[in-house]
Amino acid sequence: MSALSAPLLTPDRYLEIERAADFKSEYVDGRMFAMSGGRLAHAIVCTALASALLAALRGKSCYVTGSDLRVQVSPQGPFFYPDMSVCCGKPRLADDYKDTLLNPTIVFEVLSPSSEAYGRGKKFAAYRRIDSLREYVLASQTEPSVETYFRGPDDKWTLTEYTGLDGIWRFESIDCQIDLADIYRNIPA
């Protein structure tokens, strides 16, 4: 006898369940996937990055959001909780709950060994479908190493890598830069 698989969820049903849940889950291809908690290095990188971006964006009409704000790729999904997002201009939200962003300018994922392949592959492929997205950032949580994919005017994505504590990290879409040392200097060994 074969095991019965659970029926696929609609995006509306996912949001209904998610908004009542005690923990976060992402939604891909009709299924919910519970998210695990991060490690100390992950939390330090995210917090340092948010702090540096907030300072760099002072006076600009951009918003830095953490992993509590969901991003919706299309009406059918997927729905993700990126580690951080930047939205420039007026945020477009999916509905009156104001918990689902439709127009991120930059999405950040801080990679762990278990999330790296997914972040580089299927997740990036999904994010590229968001018209407003100009940069996709993959940051290491263990060493000063960042990959930034920038969408040019021809809709082509270009990779720029930043490494080392003396690196200067440039964000084309929001015209600012931050020092990698500001993000990685306090990562525990």
> Residue 1 has what pLDDT?
40
Provide the 3-class DSSP secondary structure of residue 11: helix
Distance of alpha carbon 67 from its chain centroid, rounded? Answer: 8
**Element (H or E) spanning 56, and its range?**
helix 40-56
Phi-psi region of 178 (alpha: psi -120 to 50; beta: other; left: phi over 0): beta
> Residue 106 has what pLDDT?
98
Q: What is the largest CA-CA distance in the chain?
A: 63
Gap between the Cα atoms of 33 and 163, Å rounded: 32
Confidence of residue 163 (pLDDT cuts 50, 70, 90): very high
Confidence of residue 172 (pLDDT cuts 50, 70, 90): very high
Confidence of residue 78 (pLDDT cuts 50, 70, 90): very high
Q: How many residues does the chain have?
A: 189
> Residue 101 has what pLDDT?
98
- Sole residue written with tokens 């990055």: 49
| DSSP notation for 64-101 | EE-TTSEEESSTT--EE--SEEEEESSPPBSSTT--EE
Q: What share of the chain is helix, strand, coil (3-state, %, to 5)?
A: 25, 30, 45
- CA angle (34 as vertex; 28, 36 as ends), nearest 5: 125
Q: Which amino acid is at 46?
A: C
- Give yes or no for residue 135 having a pLDDT over 80: yes
Residues above pLDDT 70, as percent of the chain: 97
> Residue 71 has what pLDDT?
98
Neighbours of 13 (CB within 10 A): 14
Quote the tokens at residue 108.
């950040």
> Residue 33 has what pLDDT?
94
> Residue 6 has what pLDDT?
73
- Give yes or no for residue 4 having a pLDDT over 60: no
Mean pLDDT of 91-107: 98
- Give yes or no for residue 139 having a pLDDT over 60: yes
Confidence of residue 114 (pLDDT cuts 50, 70, 90): confident
pLDDT in tens, 23-71: 999 999 999 999 988 889 999 999 999 999 999 999 999 999 999 999 9
- CA angle (89 as vertex; 152, 79 as ends), nearest 5: 75
Residues above pLDDT 90, as percent of the chain: 89
Give me the residue spans of the domains in the chain: 38-184
Gap between the Cα atoms of 10 and 167, Å rounded: 44
| CATH class for the domain made up of 38-184 | alpha beta
